[in-house]
Amino acid sequence: MKQATGKTHGKVILIGEHSVVYNQPCIALPFLDTTVTAIVTESKQHQILDCDFYQGNVQEMPELMEGLQSAIHATLQKLNQSNTPFHMSIKSTIPIERGMGSSAAVAGAAILGLYHFFEAPLSDNELFNLIQVSEKVTHGNPSGIDALTTTHQTAFYFQKEKEPIAFNIQLDADLIIADTGMMGKTKEAVSSIVKHLDLKETKTAIQTLGILTKQAKKAIIHHNAIELGNIMNKAHQQLQILNVSSKELDTLVHIANKNGALGSKLTGGGKGGCMITLCHPSKTHQIKTALEKQAAKVWSMSLKGELI
Ligand code: MEV
């Protein structure tokens, strides 16, 4: 039987979430320990989707999955296969609504699976635009950082409307990611900032996050993990001012820093979801153990290897 696969992964925003929506830069990296796989096979009739949240006809997907549905429709239209039956099974290990790029990664895997199934060429740009179809429905005003990072194995220095720059991260440090277990609310967080955009406090926080991201880029270029940690703490304070943190995120940031982290902050949309912490590898075990007492899940990755 004819079968094709589309594969993507999670992402972590190191710095610059939210401010990136307002044309400030951000730095994000792929999180390869979490993946999405879409397997597309032939079907006699109907376009069928089979995933943890839904099994049934693509036309009848629930409202909550409207983003993915629109990306599938747009993809089939581009492929001139709008009425061709298929069966798509999607498996994901990215926790949903935790700021790890789940919605973009799921849409990306589905689009890649369909393009591979219909044996059609797909440029990076087309893939990006098709994922953005889903992201616009799911998040309202997506910068595109999730669409980019979940489909590439490199870290990026990214600014809206500019060519993304593949970015080399090599630090004597580990990055720990901890999930509060609470669903993040990216759409709500993004629109709550829009509502307060006229406030001086909001404008200043967005600009400060942009400045901190540029400083973070310099710290990374100079392999200075201590400086990057300080900058991450400052970024978390700005995200608190923007009101996108939560009690649970602040608690995890506090625990990590108290246990010897170089710096910590929320990652992604916030209002729940995940936080990240940077530490010297000698501290990883202690910090992970402390976070595990409060968090739903904790991962870590080394930044020692050349991650570009
Ligand atoms: C979501 O992962 C990151 C945000 O900056 C939104 C976006 O960039 O689209 C909150």
Q: Is the CB of 99 inside a 6 Å radius of any atom of ligand 1?
A: yes
What pLDDT score does 307 carry? 55
Q: How far is CA 37 from CA 110, 117, 136, 161, 221, in A?
A: 8, 14, 22, 29, 33
Give the ligand 1 atom nearest the CA of 101: 2
What pLDDT score does 243 carry? 97
What pLDDT score does 139 carry? 86
Give the C-alpha separation, 304 to 308, whole Å: 11
Give the C-alpha separation, 107 to 103, whole Å: 6
Question: Which residues of the chain fall short of a pLDDT of 50?
Answer: 308
pLDDT tens digits for range 49-59: 999 999 999 99
Q: Give the mutation target among 98, 139, 265 for probing the ligand 1 site: most ligand atoms within 8 A of CB.
A: 139
Q: How far is CA 102 from CA 22, 151, 269, in A?
A: 22, 12, 12
What pLDDT score does 308 carry? 47
Q: Is the CB of 269 inside a 6 Å radius of any atom of ligand 1?
A: yes
pLDDT tens digits for range 245-264: 999 999 999 999 999 999 99
What pLDDT score does 124 carry? 96
From 59, 76, 57, 90, select the one nearest 118 (Cα to Cα). 76
Question: Helices 247-258 and 284-292: crossing angle, nearest 10°?
Answer: 150
pLDDT tens digits for range 132-152: 999 999 988 899 999 999 999
Q: Is the CB of 145 inside a 6 Å radius of any atom of ligand 1?
A: yes
| 132 C-alpha to ligand 1 centroid (Å) | 12
| 18 C-alpha to ligand 1 centroid (Å) | 5
What pLDDT score does 167 carry? 87
What pLDDT score does 12 carry? 97
Neighbours of 192 (CB within 10 A): 17
- State what percent of residues in the chain have pLDDT above 70: 99
Q: How far is CA 115 from CA 80, 257, 290, 301, in A?
A: 11, 45, 44, 31
Q: Is the CB of 139 inside a 6 Å radius of any atom of ligand 1?
A: yes
Residue nearest to atom 8 of ligand 1 (CA): 143
What pLDDT score does 198 carry? 95
| 26 C-alpha to ligand 1 centroid (Å) | 10
